[in-house]
Chains A and B, each alone.
Chain A
Amino acid sequence: QQQVKQSPQSLIVQKGGISIINCAYENTAFDYFPWYQQFPGKGPALLIAIRPDVSEKKEGRFTISFNKSAKQFSLHIMDSQPGDSATYFCAARGAGYNNNDMRFGAGTRLTVKP
């Protein structure tokens, strides 16, 4: 059972545009929501993470928006660049749980066209 649903599966954006990836979760016990970025031939790397006590977190061009009531969170990439082309994974981990219970979304392949 996939507890974190991610969409879209793939996304094509023009350089300078905004990339938006959405995730929805089911388990209200989740309290940590990271996003990972994976380039071909590399392992996933932590990009940005949020806890549900805030509705938004911004780091440079990357912003997480969090809607606790809707059980949804999204990644926004402003001024998207070709170097942002990668696969992005959302994930969720429950309160009192640990990385053994980290649930990953299915991934979004982002292509930024020059």
Chain B
Amino acid sequence: DTAVSQTPKYLVTQMGNDKSIKCEQNLGHDTMYWYKQDSKKFLKIMFSYNNKELIINETVPNRFSPKSPDKAHLNLHINSLELGDSAVYFCATARGVYSPLHFGNGTRLTVT
């Protein structure tokens, strides 16, 4: 039973499209995150959300928006996709903001 699951695993789409990536966790953790891993494997935080507060990394374009329908889900919506958005996106959770991160297996987004 996967603790942090993301769908889809692969996403290929054209420039200008709008897409969503879903994340679900069954760990009961309070805080969820979205990370971006670029082609050089560099990990960078995009958002964190703990059902009270959304913290957005200031470098993330406003085309990206997280949506949390409930405590177990944090979905990532991306509008007007660009070539540079191609990357692997990871959802992660933590019991608290100071607790270790638990990552999902990632969604590889390819924008053509």
Q: CA separation between A98 and B101, bound complex, in Å? A: 11
**Chain A positions within 8 Å of B97 at CB level:** 98-100
Q: CA separation between A89 and B90, bound complex, in Å? A: 15
* Interface pair A43/B105, CB less than 8 Å apart: yes
**Chain A positions within 8 Å of B104 at CB level:** 43
- What 0/1 readout, one digit per residue, does chain A (9-43) give for beta carbons within 8 Å of chain B? 00000000000000000000000101010000111
The count of residues in chain B whose C-beta lies closer than 8 Å to any C-beta of chain A is: 25
Given contacts A43-B103, A43-B105, A46-B100, contact A102 B40 (CB under 8 A): no
* Interface pair B40/A100, CB less than 8 Å apart: no
Given contacts A43-B4, A43-B90, A43-B92, contact A100 B45 (CB under 8 A): yes
B94 at the interface (CB under 8 A from A): yes
- What 0/1 readout, one digit per residue, does chain B (64-79) give for beta carbons within 8 Å of chain A? 0000000000000000
Residues of B bordering A, CB below 8 Å: 4, 31, 33, 40-45, 48, 55, 57, 90, 92, 94, 97-106
Cβ contacts A to B, 23 pairs, < 8 Å: A32-B98, A34-B100, A36-B101, A41-B106, A42-B105, A43-B4, A44-B90, A44-B103, A46-B102, A49-B100, A93-B98, A98-B48, A99-B45, A99-B98, A100-B45, A100-B48, A100-B55, A100-B97, A104-B42, A104-B43, A104-B44, A106-B40, A107-B43
